Chain A
Amino acid sequence: MDIRAEGISRRYFRRTGEANYFEAVCRTDFTVEAGKVTVLLGRSGSGKTTLLHMLAGLLTPTGGKIFLGDTDLYSLEDKALSEIRNKRIGVIPQGRSVIDTLTVLENILLPAALYGGESRGQEALEWMKKLDIAHLADSRPTELSGGELRRVAIVRALAGKPEVILADEPTGDLDDENTALVLSALRDAARDGAAVLLVTHEGEAKQYADEVWRMNAGTLTREERN
């Protein structure tokens, strides 16, 4: 299912500078289509992560709407929006995003436990094998490297077979071999029908993309593919 942003923008207030606010994301329309990998490129601070968080239902836009299919995400109560995020959207946040008090496997299965849905153990195990972290199932996050933690977060997002995958710098901590593994995995998810948004500043991701967008100072532009 597509996820679509209509006229969304995000403004942050700040106490310094000439104006007392700045536009992290300028008013824009944007769609991540089902079955495709959309790559969003841009320098640090250009507004990529802000856009991703708005698409994920994690950050209320200052203006505009986000639709998952026909559902206006921000018209929903928090509980309903959270449940949609749990069941239909897989978010891979930037940086460390695991619960230290749980084991790797518990972290991966936690989203399924939240709403008492069916166990995702089998899918989780397959993805763990694909991303080479199956042997870490019973480890605690504090025992893992940055790259391993990243792959845990990726498996957690993919194991639920979400309709939309929003990945923020998913290969930031990874070596070339694992970067290829992760990008292939996201490509496979898109092939299975998911709408995949890949936010990165690494140009290498382009080769896995169906569409490439670039963000600069909050303004989004589509890059023509040769």
Chain B
Amino acid sequence: MNIIFYLSAVVAIYCTLRAVFHKHAVHALLYLIVSLLAVAVVFFVLGAPFLAALEVIIYAGAIMVLFVFVVMMLNRGEAAIQQEKAWLQFSTWAWPAVFVLLLFAEWLYLLFYQPPAVAPVGGNQSIMPQQVGEALFTRYLLGVEMAAMLLMAGVIGAYHIGKQKQRNYHRYLEEEENLRSTASEKQTQQVI
């Protein structure tokens, strides 16, 4: 079993790296989906089969598909890839990388030289879906209700924001637009 953990961990890290640094949005998304699937395997190995399933269905299945849709709607072709290439310069990522590496070093120190004061006994154990369900609908009932409300708000918000198409220009852009349209009208009149 350990080998599965290590394997999927390596896959997850590699794919995540590719996803973050890839220049093509769709490819990056596909890498991300693979990474999420690998994490789902890790979930399963850690004894959380229910969450592994949810990870595949919701994260990899639903959320990422949303991303794919949006990327397709914003389809900007080859120019976008060139743009991404131009943006990912050394000067852009050097300082963030330094800080992140420092943070990583600190976490390594934390994980390997300062072990937790109270260590759990008995190693990893699996928790079956019925236990999760029990906890979810007894102790966390209020949380479930609130999550439901949050989702509802998300749906309404997304619908509301997404529906206002084009009309909601910023005023500068609107002025520009008006100028351009009047200019083109003049042009057409001259042609006539």
Q: Do A and B come from one complex?
A: no
Query: Interface residues, chain B, CB within 8 Å of chain A?
Result: none
